[in-house]
Structure 1
Amino acid sequence: SVQEAGKLLILQFSSPLGENVLRKTLTEAKKRRVETYMEYDGRLLDIADSLPGGSSLETNSRQAVYAFVEHAHPAYEKDLDRLVRKKISKGIPARAVLDTAVAELVALTKSNGQAELYRSRYAPKRGPPSADVEDQPAKRSKDSDGRAPPQKEKALAVVVDRSAKQHKQHKPGRATAKKPGWKITANTRCYECNGYG
């Protein structure tokens, strides 16, 4: 019957972890360095969704909200907590409160959460700004396609000239003697004739 099939599906796809372990995971889930606040919010809701009743149960969603407030950005924890408690006391659903908390934190930090911890570490290092405009190199002009002016042609001509010079040195019938990288002694054997010296 349909009810038996539903029970089998729930059994098959239910989490092997217990409810207490999932709740502990939810409350202790910290924001990762490469996560934005929105991604962290989504991860918390996924964990809340694996709890019995899912994230549609208000208590599970509230736990996700409180975990977000506690671990998203410690410097703004009190501000977020005040905002969240005010919204929940008005009877606003926890998922909407979580979205509001994410937007508020983005506004407070003026970043998406990833910038302050991750981007600053991997951003290209720039020197101090120069005060004189004359010290700065002139901008290169570009043609209508957005490409640099034809400086590549000069480099290509140089490469062609070098390759022509290399072919002149290695003409057939002309052998170049290369000095070995080691000292030749009486015990050194010749590769061609197998003789000593």
Structure 2
Amino acid sequence: MHALLNEHKRPDETYRQYAFRLINIADALPGGVDVHSNAAQALLTFVNRAYPENAKFLRTIANLQTDKPIEELHRMTREISMLVGSDGQRKSGQGRRASSAPLPKQHPTGDDSKQPGGAAMMATIERK
């Protein structure tokens, strides 16, 4: 049960993959997901850890007292995806940056072919 409580979502997995991983962990516990408390703990862990910034809101829309926690877990994967407009998977090359961190500066190189709107834009205009 302790492993389930502390299981975080990995940056490279979708919300759905995270939910299935929690279900697999709960199923490995004595009694599996047929034991209501195991399945309910998977649901609660998902709500609290899938998107921590929205955990409080997710707790308000999740039916944590349901008799069918696995079905509710699947519903919550759809809800969170719609809420954040993403499947939750960080694309490769997407690093974490503090929201207050400055954006990287772009320095002009003098080569129009590498600048947006440079030679490529000219080629488009000339074709019209």
TM-score after normalising by structure 2: 0.72
Choose 1 or 2 for highest CA Rg.
1
Q: Which runs of 4+ in 1 moved over 6 A?
A: none
Tell me the residue number matched to 2:77. 102
Letter in 1 for 2:13: E
Displacement of 1:128 in angstroms is 7.9
Structure 1 stretches of 5 or more lacking a match?
Answer: 1-22, 140-197
Paired residue for 1:51, among 19, 29, 38?
29
Figure out how many residues of one structure are paired with residues of the other and give that number.
Answer: 106
d(CA) in 1 for partners of 2:121, 2:59 = 50
Structure 2 stretches of 5 or more lacking a match?
Answer: 96-113
Displacement of 1:94 in angstroms is 0.3
Paired residue for 1:62, among 40, 65, 71?
40
Q: CA RMSD in A?
A: 2.5
Displacement of 1:120 in angstroms is 5.8
d(CA) in 1 for partners of 2:32, 2:115 = 52
Tell me the residue number matched to 2:91. 118
Displacement of 1:100 in angstroms is 1.1
Tell me the residue number matched to 1:42. 20
For the structure 1 residues 80 and 33, does the alpha-carbon distance in structure 2 shift closer, same or farther, using more than 3 Å as the test? same
TM-score after normalising by structure 1: 0.48
Tell me the residue number matched to 1:79. 57
For the structure 1 residues 128 and 79, does the alpha-carbon distance in structure 2 shift closer, same or farther, using more than 3 Å as the test? farther
